[in-house]
Structure 1
Amino acid sequence: MTGRKRWSTEEILEAAVALLRTGDAESFSVRRLAATLGTDSSSLYRHFRNKTELLRAVADRVLLTAMDGYRPEGDWRQRITALALCLRDAFGEQPELAAVWGRYGSGGTGSRLVMEEVLQALRASGLPDQEIPARYHRVVILIAALISSEAGISTITPEEYEQGMEQFRVAVLGADPERFPALSHFARDVRPLGADRRAAFEEILAAQLDDVGARVR
C-alpha cells in the first residue's frame, strides 16, 4: 500500500502562497492547506507548529526573494530608499502577502537581512548608537505600512477600481460647500488614494529620512 506523499517545507510554502492568493490571512487555515495538498493537518504540523508560524514563514519567503535582488549601494539614504523600493516591488508581485508581513512579523533569515541592512545604513548616517533602534523601528513600520496600504489597492479588480473612482468623483466634486468648505475649495486638485502611489511612497519615506538627517546635523 502506497503511503501519502511527504511534502517538503518549500512545497508547503508554495502551496500556502497559492492559497493566500485566493483569500486572506483570516480565511487561511492549516486544515484548508492540508486539504489542498491532499494530506492531513498533522503532517504539516511536523514543519510548522501553528498557523502563525506558517504565515510568518510565508512572509519571510518574500523578504528573502527581495533581498536576493538587493545590492547595497550609495550613501545611507540611498541604501534605505533602494531597500524600501525593492521590498515594495517584491510584495507588488504578491500583494496578498503584504498584509501577512504587516501582521505576522517574521524572525526568519529574510527578516534578519532586512533588519541588518537598515541598521547598518542608519549607523552609516552618523546617528548615535543609542538612537538607532528607535529610528530603525520607525523606518520599518513606515515601510511596512506603505507597502500594505498600496497592496490593498492593487488587489482590487478594474471594475472595483472604476466604481471607486466614480464614487470619489461624486463625493468630492459634489460636496456641499457649506458643510465641506475646504473639500469644495480643493475638490479639483484632491486625488484619490490610488493615484501616484510610487511618488507618494518615496516622498513619505524621504520625509522620515530627512528627519534622521536633521538629527545627525
Structure 2
Amino acid sequence: MTGRRRWTTEEILDTAAELLRTSDAESFSLRKLAAALGTDSSSLYRHFRNKTELLRAVADRILLGAADGYRPGGDWKQRVTALALRVRDAFGEQHQLAAVWGRYGSGGTGSRLLMEELLQALRASGLPDEEIPARYHRIVILIVALIASDAGVGTVTPAEYEQGMEQFRVAVLGADPERFPALAHFARDIRPLGADRGAAFEEILAAHLDRIEADLP
C-alpha cells in the first residue's frame, strides 16, 4: 500500500502563499491548506504549531525575496529608501500577505536581514546609538502602514473599484457648497484614495527621513 505523500516545508509554504493570493488571512485555515495539498491538517502540525506560525513563515519568505540580491549603496537615506521600496514591491505581488505581515509580524531570517540593514543604515547616519531603536521603530511602523494601505487597495476587485469611484464622484463632485464649502472648492482637484500611491509612499518616507536628518547632532 502506498503511503501518503510527505510534503516539505517549502512546498507547504508555496501552496499557502498561492491560497493567500485569492483569500484573506481570516478565511485562510490549515484545513483549507491541507485540502489543497491532498492531506489532513494533522500532518501540517509537524511543520507548524498553528495557523499564526504558518502565516508568519509565509510572510517571512516575502521578506527573504526582498532581501535577495540587495546590496547597500548610497548614503543612509538612500539605503533605507531602497530597502523600503524592495519590500513594497515584494508585497505588491502578494497583497493579502502584506496584511498578514502588518498583523502578525515575522521573526524569521528575512525579517532579521531587513532589521540588520535598517539598523546599520541608521548607524551610518550618525545618530547616537541610544536614539536608534526608537527611530528604527518609527520607520518600521511607517513602512508597514504604507505597505498595508497599498495592499488594501490592491485587493479591491474591478467591480468594487468602479463602485467606489462612483461613490467618490457623488461624495466629492456632488458636495453641497453650503455645507461643505472647502470640499466643493477643491472637488475637481481631490483625487481618489488609490491614485498616485507609489509617489505618495516615497514622499511620505522621504519627509520622515528628512526629519531625522534635521535632528542629527
Answer whether TM exceeds 0.5 for this pair: yes
Q: CA deviation at 1:61?
A: 0.4
The answer for the alignment partner of 1:155 in structure 2 is: 155
Tell me the SS of whatever aligns to 1:5: coil
d(CA) in 2 for partners of 1:154 and 1:41? 30
Deviation track 1:117-143 (CA, whole Å, cap 9, x = no partner) reads 110001111111011001101101111
Do structure 1's residue 14 and structure 2's residue 17 form an aligned pair?
no
Deviation track 1:37-92 (CA, whole Å, cap 9, x = no partner) reads 11111111010011110000000000001100322110000000011111111011
- Gap runs ≥5 in structure 1: none
TM-score normalized with structure 2 length: 0.97
The answer for the alignment partner of 2:177 in structure 1 is: 177
Q: Detail structure 1 runs of 4+ shifted over 3 Å in the superposition.
A: none
The answer for the alignment partner of 2:111 in structure 1 is: 111
Deviation track 1:172-198 (CA, whole Å, cap 9, x = no partner) reads 011111221221121111111100111
Deviation track 1:14-52 (CA, whole Å, cap 9, x = no partner) reads 010111112100011111111111111111101001111
Letter in 1 for 2:35: A
Question: Cα RMSD (Å) of the superposition?
Answer: 1.0
Letter in 1 for 2:55: L
d(CA) in 1 for partners of 2:158 and 2:30? 31
- Gap runs ≥5 in structure 2: none
d(CA) in 2 for partners of 1:61 and 1:172? 41
Q: How many residues get paired?
A: 217
Q: CA deviation at 1:159?
A: 2.8
Matches within 5 A, 1:1-217: 1-217=1-217
Q: CA deviation at 1:162?
A: 2.3
Deviation track 1:140-176 (CA, whole Å, cap 9, x = no partner) reads 1111110111111112223322222222111101111
d(CA) in 2 for partners of 1:76 and 1:22? 37
TM-score normalized with structure 1 length: 0.97
Tell me the SS of whatever aligns to 1:73: coil
Letter in 1 for 2:112: R
d(CA) in 1 for partners of 2:42 and 2:157? 36
**Percent identity of equivalent pairs:** 81
